[in-house]
Every structure is written in C-alpha cells, then in structure tokens.
A and B are shown apart, each in its own frame.
Chain A
Amino acid sequence: MKIHEYQAKLLLRGHGIDVPKGDVAFSPREAAAQAASLGGRVVLKAQVHAGGRGKGGGIKVAADAVEAAALAEKMIGMTLVTPQTGAVGKKVRRLLVEETLEIARELYLGITLDRGRGCPVVMACAEGGMDIEEVAAKDPGAILVEPIDPLLGLRPFQARKIAYFLGLEGDQVARGVALVSALGRMYEAIDASLVEINPLVVTKSGLLVALDAKMTFDDNALYRHPRIRELRDPDEEEPLEVEASAHSLNYIKLEGSVGCMVNGAGLAMATMDIIHHVGGAPANFLDVGGGASAEQVAAAFRILVADPNVKAVLINIFGGILRVDVLARGLIEAVHTVGVKVPIVVRLEGTNVEEGKRLIAEAKLNVTVGDGMLDAAKKVVALAQAGGR
C-alpha cells in the first residue's frame, strides 16, 4: 500500500524527524489560509501516488496567500501527467501547502527490503533530489548500502557511518545519527517495505529536514496496523481493482482486449504472456486464487466484463484445490446472472475436469473450449480481434 507525501511526513514527524511546516489542503480557500498562517511564501505540492511531479507542473511556489489560492484553483482538479503516471495521468484532489526553506545541501536517505540479502538495507547518497535508481546505475559507488541485521537492528555505529558518508559536519553529525536511527526504528515499527526521504536537506542553519517523503507498506502486515490502513486513498486506485480487493481477488487492469480469469498468480502471468505471444493483448491480470468459491468466480466475472475494452474472455483453470466442476458451476451461474455479451474461451485442466466440461457442454453457453494453453490463447485472440473490428 502507498500513501501520500503529507501522510508520510506526519508519520516522520511522529517519529521525531523534522519536516517543513505545512498541512494538506482540499480547496483553494484552505490553501490560502495555510499560506497566511505560514507567513506568505509557500510551496504547493500536488498529492498523487506518483513521482516526478515537478516535471508535470505539480509543484508550484506562491509568494503569498492570494497567489496560493490562485495556484490551488488551477492545481486542484487538474490531471497531472508525470513519467510515473503514464499518459492517462492522475487527477489531483489534494495539495500539500508548506513553508519554503533555505537549502544548503540535498541528500538521499532510504530504507528498503533487500530480497537478496534477506534483510532491510539503509541506502544513503550525498547527492539528493535525483532518481536513486539512475544514480545506482551510473555510479554505484556514490551510494552507501548498509544492511540492518534482523536480530540486532540498526546499530549506532552504522548510523554514524552513514552520517559521515553523507558529509555531515559539526552539530549536523549528531542530528544525522539521531535521524538515521529514528528512521530505522520507524521502518520496523510501521512494517514498511520502503521509506525514502529524497531529498533530505541540510538547511542554511544546519538543520536536517525531510523535504520529500515516500512510503510503501507491506500489505501482508497491514492487519496489525489499523491506523496505517486508514491512510489508504481509494481515489488513487483503479475502481475495478478496489472492487476486486473487496472480494479478495487479485485484479490488475491493463490496456488490452482479452479479459483473463486464471487461478494462481504464476499461471495468470503466464496466461498474459501467452496471449501476447500469439499476437493479442491482455485486458487484465486476474487471479481468483486456489480456493475460490462460486460467489468469487461470479464477482470475478462481473469485474472482468465491466471493462469496456474487453472483446473476448479467456478462462484458464488448472484445478488443484479449486475443483474444475465447482468452477464450472460458478461460471455457468455468473454467465446467466451477469449476461455476458462477449465470446468466452475456456481451458480447463485438473481435478474433476471431465465433470466440469460436461456441465459447461450441458449449459449450452456461448463458450469455446480450448485444447491446452496455446490453442486457447490463439482462439481467444482471434475472437477478440474479430469483435474489435
């Protein structure tokens, strides 16, 4: 799960890390009021779950409250297109209004899970404000990677090493050590999978302030963080994906015309791949899971055909725990209740497959049966292309 910058900054502040003074604004009036209380000159930052906002016109500086209101008027409701949003862009609904700072240096500090090492790592770079992945690709030596021992946690000597690597001097060192240590404790306390301060700035008065912040949480750990769960913003998600998650289905909307319903994440990805391989494009990723009920199958079907781009549907099931006859019953019921207009290709394999095939044949649906994954993919792509014309 992702959260907005202003929410991430509230969490940082709660863990003793300095952030610029400011608050979220949902309207030009609120933006003006905040600018006034911050003393006039402010920065307005569009709050969407995507980076690169400055390039798309999502970050503006206002000299006073009047200009803040005028800028907010333009920014709230705008569709922000950045390198990370794709061409469709994201609608801006909230702004962060913040004081401006006198900046001496920009640094990078982040913590993320290193899958190879099997533990979180702190990443630090004395040059902040840029894409850390680009820096890593161009000049890996510019980044210090410090693993956090799973049993010991982030130790003070490591925080000192990072502070000196960042080129902090004098009083800044102690502030840096405190900040790095706080960030390490926070990462663990909130079950993050990424916390990133980019840039972390050294102000002209020598203070360390998180000028931007990004956080991602481990979805598997959200059950033990009810207050973080509340920070979820459904406006930032695809509506069909929100509905799918309410039914415990894994659905991701894509751009193509072949709707897919598959059991198992690996098989679902492979189904997308094989559709591409035979010249089609999947409209979605949809994993109904290992033990889907008839209700879930029906919900999955409803979500699948709610996408207007879908011209044909491929159902690819390898029945293990999910018996093929159970799936067939759910499918028949779904087709009857949802009233599907597009052609369907099914490819069924596994437990009770004969019974499943018999049920579908008897139901006399507008369904083509595929013989193996490749044949099914070819058939559904042909149907989707015929339907698209």
Chain B
Amino acid sequence: MSVLVGASSRVVVQGLTGREGSFHARQCMEYGTKVVAGVTPGRGGQKHEGVPVFNTVAEAVSKTGCDVSLVFVPPPAAADAVLEAADAGVRLVVCITEGIPAADMVRVRPFVASKGARLIGPNCPGIITPGQCKVGIMPGYIHKPGSVGVVSRSGTLTYEAVAQLTRRGIGQSTCIGIGGDPIIGTTFQDALALFHADAETRAIVLIGEIGGGMEEEAAAYAKATVKKPIVAFIAGQTAPPGRRMGHAGAIIAGGKGTAADKMAALAAAGATVLKTPAEIGETVERLLGATGGGR
C-alpha cells in the first residue's frame, strides 16, 4: 500500500524546538503521524508540543524506538544532523533544510549508505503515505489514499499534481519529494525501484526539472525494468541555459541537463511525457482506466 513510511513509522524531529520544526511537527501529528521524539542539543528532558525532547538522536532511538527522522536543522548544522541520525541507526532520514553546501552532501551520502540508511532530500517537501503518515511540510489535506506513486524534485508542483489526482478521485500510494539540490540522497531511479516493487502502486507520476542527468538515468532503468505506466513532466522547458532556476540543482550547464533531453529519454522508455503540468490528472485517469481502474 505504500513505500518507506506507513502507519507504524515512529518519527523523531531534529530541530523540533525551532519555529519551523514546531509548526510542522504539529501539522504532522494532526495528520496522524506518530511523532515520538524531538532532538535539540541542550533541551534534553523537556517536552515540546507534547513530545519528549532528547539531546542526541542516539538517546531518542534507545528511549522511543524511532526509525524515521525529519530534519529541520538550519543549513550550517544540517549535514551533521543527517550524519547523527544515520549513525544512531535511524533507517530513513528526511531532510527538509534548503541551502546545505554541496560539499557537505558529497560527504554525507556515502556515510549514510555505509550505515544502511536512506536519505530523502535535502531541500525537499518530504514524504507522505496518504491517510497513514506525513513526514514533511506538504499540505496533508490535498492527498488521498490510493494507488498512484508520485516522485518529484519540486514542492508546489507536486502539490499541483496531487491536487489534480485527488480532484478526480484518484488516490496516491506514497508521494516522495526527492529535493531540488544537485546532490540528494534518493534519486528518481531509487524511487522508481521502490514503486516498481510495491504491489499496490499501479501507476507512477514523475516530475523532473532541468539540471543533472537523473531523469535520463531513471528512464534507462524504467525501460529495462518498470512495467507500470509512468506519466512524466519536466519543468524548465523554456529556462535559459546557465541560470540557476530557484533550485540549486536546476541549471543547464554546458548544454547538459536540458528538458528536451530528459523528455526524449523518458518518452523512449515508454513514459507518457506531458508538455504542461495541467494535464497530469486527466492523463493518469486515462492510463488507469486503460489498465482496468485503480482507484
């Protein structure tokens, strides 16, 4: 019914006592997420938003059995927070923080992998399994439980796609915001592999953007492996080369990372590639109808 997070996920919020951390931890709990711990060094032993606060992630893990971390730590300390979570045995680390130096993430990624953990983000809206567990900053009410897996480098563009699906009565298995930075923990290919293996996911929406070669890599994987219908949109078809379009990773550099290349690769892999995001909902509806429903 879902990938990575579900009703049994136990979440620790790193940076719980900060403004962002407090606000979004409360929103997650209101959605039904089991937020069982917070970590703020120096605030151990206190309670915040009704949640016990610990000085270290290791202590939070041993006292509460948390297995998913949601990171709201500011950029200069965020990479260290991710390392701490992975080191403490948290299996899934979701890093919302925007503005982490790329060099920090270059070192974080192999360490997280060496601990057998998975990182989502950074610079992402997080992950949600509708009706069960929201680990992120997305508006929960636009989602609906169902069978479409959504994976995206963008925040609000994902909300746009999800809202279109929900309005048509089409629910989502899990929605993963993988983040807009050049170096991120979970790639499109990783997400496709998860959705491919998930029996309840019947179709996949992939929302990419200019920059890097992750969409092309995912297309090659999809062509070889994924049999579920994929609907894809790539943002930045009209973006000028050499300019960073808001996201640190959204840049066409040296003629590489264009939307045209990504759209061609995905189309060649059998995905239905859209020119505008306005057609995502209707296209998924049509494809699901063709394969025998799936609401």
Which residues of A approach B to under 8 Å, CB–CB? 84, 113, 115-116, 118-120, 132-133, 136, 150-151, 188, 191, 193, 218-221, 223-224, 250, 252, 254, 262-270, 272-277, 282, 285, 287, 290, 318-321, 349-351, 372-374
Counting from the closest, the 9 A-B pairs by CB-CB distance are A266-B154, A265-B246, A264-B156, A266-B157, A221-B101, A269-B235, A374-B278, A269-B236, A267-B156
Q: In the complex, how many angstroms separate the beta carbon of A98 from the nearest chain B beta carbon?
A: 26
Contact B213 A274 (CB under 8 A): no
A-B contacts, 7 listed (Cβ < 8 Å)? A150-B110, A224-B101, A266-B152, A270-B154, A270-B160, A277-B275, A374-B276
Of B76, B101, B153, B259, chain A has the most CB atoms within 10 Å of the CB of B101
Which residue of chain A lies nearest to B122 when distances are taken between CB atoms in the complex? A220
Contact A265 B160 (CB under 8 A): no
Point out the residue from B75, B155, B245, B278 that lies within 8 Å of A223, measured CB to CB: B75
Q: In the complex, how many angstroms separate the beta carbon of A26 from the nearest chain B beta carbon?
A: 27
Which residue of chain B lies nearest to A374 when distances are taken between CB atoms in the complex? B278
Residues of A contacting B125 in the complex (Cβ-Cβ under 8 angstroms): 320
Contact B154 A285 (CB under 8 A): no
What number of A-B contacts does a CB cutoff of 8 Å give?
169
Point out the residue from A120, A132, A219 that lies within 8 Å of B106, measured CB to CB: A120
Sample of 5 more A-B contacts, CB < 8 Å, known A150-B109, A218-B248, A275-B238: A113-B102, A115-B249, A116-B214, A133-B254, A272-B236
Within 8 A of A (CB), among B69-98: 75-76
Which residue of chain A lies nearest to B208 when distances are taken between CB atoms in the complex? A266
Within 8 A of A (CB), among B129-177: 137-139, 142, 152-160, 163
Of B125, B137, B139, chain A has the most CB atoms within 10 Å of the CB of B139
Contact B240 A276 (CB under 8 A): no
Contact A373 B157 (CB under 8 A): no
Residues of B contacting A267 in the complex (Cβ-Cβ under 8 angstroms): 154-157, 160, 235
Contact B101 A218 (CB under 8 A): yes
Contact A265 B247 (CB under 8 A): yes
Contact A270 B276 (CB under 8 A): yes
Residues of B contacting A252 in the complex (Cβ-Cβ under 8 angstroms): 240, 243, 245
Which residue of chain A lies nearest to B156 when distances are taken between CB atoms in the complex? A264
Contact A318 B236 (CB under 8 A): no
Q: Does B237 contact A (CB under 8 A)?
A: yes
Interface class of chain B by DSSP = loop
Interface class of chain A by DSSP = mixed
Contact B107 A191 (CB under 8 A): no
Q: In the complex, how many angstroms separate the beta carbon of A113 from the nearest chain B beta carbon?
A: 6
Instruction: State which size class the interface on B falls in.
Output: 35 or more
Contact A320 B238 (CB under 8 A): no
Q: In the complex, how many angstroms separate the beta carbon of A327 from the nearest chain B beta carbon?
A: 12
Contact B235 A266 (CB under 8 A): yes
Contact B156 A266 (CB under 8 A): yes
Residues of A contacting B158 in the complex (Cβ-Cβ under 8 angstroms): 266
Contact B139 A193 (CB under 8 A): no
Q: Does B183 contact A (CB under 8 A)?
A: yes
Residues of B contacting A372 in the complex (Cβ-Cβ under 8 angstroms): 278
Point out the residue from A133, A220, A270, A319 that lies within 8 Å of B248, measured CB to CB: A220
Contact A116 B163 (CB under 8 A): no
Contact B76 A119 (CB under 8 A): no
Q: Contacts A265-B154, A267-B156 given; indicate if A272 touches B239 (C-beta within 8 A).
A: yes
Q: Contacts A266-B180, A320-B139 given; indicate if A219 touches B246 (C-beta within 8 A).
A: no
Which residue of chain A lies nearest to B237 when distances are taken between CB atoms in the complex? A273
Q: In the complex, how many angstroms separate the beta carbon of A253 from the nearest chain B beta carbon?
A: 10
Residues of B contacting A287 in the complex (Cβ-Cβ under 8 angstroms): 246
Q: In the complex, how many angstroms separate the beta carbon of B237 from the nearest chain A beta carbon?
A: 5
Q: Does B210 contact A (CB under 8 A)?
A: yes
Q: In the complex, how many angstroms separate the beta carbon of B74 from the nearest chain A beta carbon?
A: 10
Point out the residue from B100, B139, B180, B212 that lies within 8 Å of A116, measured CB to CB: B212
Cα separation A12 to B238 with both chains bound (whole Å)? 36
Contact A188 B103 (CB under 8 A): yes
Which residue of chain A lies nearest to B249 when distances are taken between CB atoms in the complex? A115
Residues of A contacting B16 in the complex (Cβ-Cβ under 8 angstroms): none
Which residue of chain A lies nearest to B241 when distances are taken between CB atoms in the complex? A84
Residues of A contacting B41 in the complex (Cβ-Cβ under 8 angstroms): none
Contact B278 A350 (CB under 8 A): no
Within 8 A of A (CB), among B104-139: 106-107, 109-110, 125, 137-139
Which residue of chain B lies nearest to A86 when distances are taken between CB atoms in the complex? B240
Which residue of chain B lies nearest to A132 when distances are taken between CB atoms in the complex? B254
Contact B101 A350 (CB under 8 A): no
Contact A118 B213 (CB under 8 A): no
Contact B248 A219 (CB under 8 A): yes
